[in-house]
């Protein structure tokens, strides 16, 4: 047993040397024209958790409804609605990837409804003299991310689903304009 352990360590060490994958070959840097770079919006969508169709999904919706009712501060409620909107968008992405485009389109549309509610709560918070700049900035990024993701999903779908996504895209573009109007002028 005492001889096996050092032998195993030596074999492991040698194996790690062999598999490090270093190459000393020279690489020529040949410049080739690249297409116009597509800039991705740096905004991370949250993991949605349970998806529609899960037996526990109604409990999740009930929990979210309770949180919504118990949250009274307009700024906190705007953040909550933004989170729900982003979660619904990510849920839609997962559903499209699963092949359930109809549920995905409906879920994304509900997410845009949440986004609209977030805008109305931001307006309420602003009227109460709350500092909304940080949340407003996140909402602007989120709106751009929504547009990016919905455009990508439109390329993966067709028919009624694509038509529904087109409506959600238009709404998201309108939201971005409304948010720009709410932003402090620089």
Are 172 and 112 in contact by the 8 Å Cβ rule? The answer is yes
**Residue 53 · residue 41 · CB < 8 Å:** no
Return all residues near 102 (Cβ < 8 A) that are at least 6 apart. 160, 161
Of the chain, the end-to-end C-alpha distance in Å amounts to 73
Output the pLDDT for position 28.
45
Structure tokens at 70: 């118990």
Query: CA-to-CA distance for 7 and 10, rounded, in angstroms?
Result: 5
Q: What is the pLDDT of residue 32?
A: 47
pLDDT averages per 10-residue partition of the chain, 186 residues: 62 50 44 58 93 95 97 97 98 96 96 98 95 95 97 94 96 96 78
CATH classification of 73-182 is 1.10.3470, yes or no?
no
pLDDT score for 39: 78
Please state the pTM of the whole predicted model: 0.78
What are the sequence ranges of the domains in the chain? 73-182
Closest CA to 145 of 117, 108, 98: 108
């Amino acid at each position: 047993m005492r001889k096996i352990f050092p032998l195993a360590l030596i074999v492991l060490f040698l194996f790690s040397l062999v598999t490090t994958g270093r190459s000393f070959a020279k690489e020529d840097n040949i410049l080739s024209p690249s297409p116009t770079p597509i800039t991705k919006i740096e905004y991370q969508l949250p993991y949605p958790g349970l998806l529609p169709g899960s037996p526990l999904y109604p409990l999740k919706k009930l929990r979210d409804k309770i949180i919504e009712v118990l949250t009274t501060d307009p700024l906190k409620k705007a953040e909550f609605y933004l989170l729900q909107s982003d979660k619904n968008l990510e849920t839609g992405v997962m559903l499209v990837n699963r092949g359930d485009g109809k549920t995905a389109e409906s879920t994304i549309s509900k997410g845009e409804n949440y986004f609209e509610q977030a805008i109305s709560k931001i307006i309420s918070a602003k009227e109460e003299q709350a500092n909304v700049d940080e949340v407003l900035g996140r909402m602007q990024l989120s709106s751009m991310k929504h547009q990016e993701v919905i455009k990508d999903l439109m390329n993966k779908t067709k028919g009624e689903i694509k038509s529904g996504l087109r409506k959600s895209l238009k709404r998201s573009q309108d939201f971005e304009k409304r948010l720009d109007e709410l932003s402090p002028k620089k």
